Chain A
Amino acid sequence: GAVVSQHPSRVICKSGTSVKIECRSLDFQATTMFWYRQFPKQSLMLMATSNEGSKATYEQGVEKDKFLINHASLTLSTLTVTSAHPEDSSFYICSAGRQGRSPLHFGNGTRLTVT
């Protein structure tokens, strides 16, 4: 079946540094990937839609300059949290769907802790 790989699974960084999270579709091409943020015991909050070869579409309230998304190929999207602050600490999850077919497959998430 379709698999989405996300790396790293955990990252701890100091305030003010930047962190890059990778999301790869392993056995299918994904023209669109999605980035979510999840707070403890809460649902997934869509941050942005990553489109291969074009700019990402950000949800209202999500700072595009802080959460940089690059979807340079049909199998890779990256989320860079720039100048991270403790309030950016969260669980970030990516997802992707096979073209023309459901379902949406999720990566295993990245636990970001900013100290």
Chain B
Amino acid sequence: QQQVKQSPQSLIVQKGGISIINCAYENTAFDYFPWYQQFPGKGPALLIAIRPDVSEKKEGRFTISFNKSAKQFSLHIMDSQPGDSATYFCAASGPFLPMNTGNQFYFGTGTSLTVIP
């Protein structure tokens, strides 16, 4: 069973436009929702993350919107740039306990973003 569902599979956006990627999760025990950015031949790198006690988190051009009741969260990339072209993965994990590092992260299927100059 796919714990985290991600859409769209691919996305093409004009430079300067807004890229939006959506994810939905099933397990209400999840309490940590990161987004990872992956370039070809590299490992995923943490982009931004949110916990369910807030509905939005913004870091530069990247914003996560979180809807706890709908069990959905999304990544918005404002003023998209060609350098943002990469594959983006949403993930969910938790609950986190202070001494626990063993939480499994569940990943979405990824979105290939292409930003056209």
Contacts and interface: CB of A to CB of B under 8 A. Distances in A.
Interface string B46-90: 100100000000000000000000000000000000000001010
Main secondary structure of the interface of B (DSSP, over half): loop
Q: Most chain-A CB neighbours within 10 Å: which of B87, B101, B112?
A: B101
Contacts of A31: 101-102
Interface residues of A, number: 31
Interface in A79-112: 91, 93, 95-109, 111
Contact of B43 (A46, A97, A102, A107): A107
Contacts of A49: 102, 104
Main secondary structure of the interface of A (DSSP, over half): strand
Q: Which 4 A-B pairs have the closest CB atoms?
A: A106-B43, A32-B102, A100-B98, A32-B101
Interface of B: 32, 34, 36, 41-46, 49, 87, 89, 91, 93, 96-105, 107-110, 112
